[in-house]
Amino acid sequence: MNIASHLSRVARVWPEGPAVAVGTQVVHTYAALGHRVSCLAAGMHDQLGLRPGDRVLLALKNCPAYLELMYACWHAGLVAVPANAKLHRDEFAYIAGNCEAAAAFTTPDLTETIAAACDDTVRAVVEIDTDRYTALLNAAPVSVANRRADDAAWLFYTSGTTGRPKGATLTHRNLNAAFLGYFADVDPGGPWRAFLHAAPMSHGSGLYGIANVVQGACHVIPDSGGFDANEVYALIEAWPGLSFFAAPTMVKRLLDVPQAHDTSNLKLIIYGGGPMYVEDCLKALERFGPKLSQLYGQGESPMTITALNAALHADRQHPRWMERLASVGVAQTPVEVRVVGADGSRLSPGDVGEVVVKGDTVMAGYWGNPRASADTIRDGWLHTGDMGSFDADGFLTLKDRSKDMIISGGTNIYPREIEETLLTHPDVAEVSVIGREDREWGEVVVAYVVANDRAVLGSDDLDAFCLEKMARFKRPKDYRFVAELPKNNYGKVLKTALRERDAGR
Ligand code: AMP
DSSP SS3 for 202: coil
| pLDDT on residue 52 | 98
Write out pLDDT tens, residues 208-235.
999 999 999 999 999 999 999 999 999 9
Query: Is the confidence at residue 162, as pLDDT, over 60?
Result: no
Spatial neighbors of 442 by CB under 8 A, at least 6 apart, are 407, 408, 409, 410
Nearest C-alpha to atom 6 of ligand 1 is from which residue?
A: 298
Helix runs in 172-309, H state only:
172-181, 204-214, 229-238, 248-256, 278-288
Average pLDDT over residues 335-344: 95
| pLDDT on residue 411 | 76
CB-based contact 238:230 (threshold 8 Å): no
| pLDDT on residue 58 | 98
Measure 177 CA to ligand 1 centroid, in angstroms. 19
Band of the pLDDT at 12, cuts 50, 70, 90?
Answer: very high
Nearest C-alpha to atom 10 of ligand 1 is from which residue?
A: 298
Write out pLDDT tens, residues 226-262.
999 999 999 999 999 999 999 888 998 999 998 889 9
Query: Is the confidence at residue 346, as pLDDT, over 70?
Result: yes
Query: Is the confidence at residue 129, as pLDDT, over 60?
Result: yes
- Rounded distance between C-alpha atoms, residue 108 and residue 460, angstroms: 51
| pLDDT on residue 488 | 82
Spatial neighbors of 447 by CB under 8 A, at least 6 apart, are 418, 419, 422, 431, 432, 433, 462, 476, 478, 479, 480
Spatial neighbors of 460 by CB under 8 A, at least 6 apart, are none
| pLDDT on residue 489 | 75
**At 233, phi and psi to the nearest 5?**
-60, -40
Nearest C-alpha to atom 9 of ligand 1 is from which residue?
A: 298
Average pLDDT over residues 54-68: 98
| pLDDT on residue 163 | 59
Measure 336 CA to ligand 1 centroid, in angstroms. 17
Average pLDDT over residues 196-209: 96
The full DSSP string for 425-450 is STTEEEEEEEEEEETTTEEEEEEEEE
DSSP SS3 for 386: strand
Query: Is the confidence at residue 120, as pLDDT, over 80?
Result: no
Q: What does DSSP say about strands 218-221 and 152-157: parallel, antiparallel, or unpaired? A: unpaired
Write out pLDDT tens, residues 437-487.
888 788 899 999 999 876 789 999 999 999 888 888 889 999 999 999 998
Atom index in ligand 1 nearest the CA of residue 328 equals 19
Query: Is the confidence at residue 377, as pLDDT, over 70?
Result: yes
Ligand 1 pocket, Cβ-based, cut-off 6 angstroms: 158-159, 272-275, 294, 296-299, 328, 384, 386, 398, 401
Spatial neighbors of 371 by CB under 8 A, at least 6 apart, are none
Out of 296, 300, 325, 401, mutate this one to test ligand 1's pocket (max ligand atoms within 8 Å of CB): namely: 296
Residue 90's identity, in one-letter code, is D
Atom index in ligand 1 nearest the CA of residue 492 equals 8
Nearest C-alpha to atom 21 of ligand 1 is from which residue?
A: 275
Number of neighbours of residue 336 by Cβ within 10 angstroms: 12
Nearest C-alpha to atom 5 of ligand 1 is from which residue?
A: 298
Burial (0-12, 13-18, 19+ Cβ within 10 Å), 267: buried
Atom index in ligand 1 nearest the CA of residue 159 equals 3
Nearest C-alpha to atom 23 of ligand 1 is from which residue?
A: 274
| pLDDT on residue 399 | 85
Measure 272 CA to ligand 1 centroid, in angstroms. 7
Residue 1's identity, in one-letter code, is M
Cis before residue 191, ω within 30 degrees of 0? yes
Average pLDDT over residues 60-75: 98
Nearest C-alpha to atom 13 of ligand 1 is from which residue?
A: 274
Nearest C-alpha to atom 1 of ligand 1 is from which residue?
A: 298
More confident residue, 62 or 409: 62
Out of 382, 398, 432, mutate this one to test ligand 1's pocket (max ligand atoms within 8 Å of CB): namely: 398
Band of the pLDDT at 29, cuts 50, 70, 90?
Answer: very high
| pLDDT on residue 440 | 79
Percent of the chain with pLDDT over 90: 80
- Rounded distance between C-alpha atoms, residue 252 and residue 280, angstroms: 7
- Rounded distance between C-alpha atoms, residue 323 and residue 395, angstroms: 9
Spatial neighbors of 67 by CB under 8 A, at least 6 apart, are 19, 20, 33, 201, 209, 213, 219
Measure 396 CA to ligand 1 centroid, in angstroms. 13
Compute CA distances 448 → 221, 444, 454, whole Å. Answer: 35, 13, 18
Residue 466's identity, in one-letter code, is C
- Rounded distance between C-alpha atoms, residue 253 and residue 255, angstroms: 5
Measure 492 CA to ligand 1 centroid, in angstroms. 9
Average pLDDT, whole number, for the chain? 93
Write out pLDDT tens, residues 426-435.
999 999 999 9
Out of 298, 309, 324, 361, mutate this one to test ligand 1's pocket (max ligand atoms within 8 Å of CB): namely: 298
- Rounded distance between C-alpha atoms, residue 294 and residue 208, angstroms: 13
Measure 416 CA to ligand 1 centroid, in angstroms. 13
Q: What does DSSP say about strands 242-246 and 25-29: parallel, antiparallel, or unpaired? A: unpaired
Band of the pLDDT at 159, cuts 50, 70, 90?
Answer: low
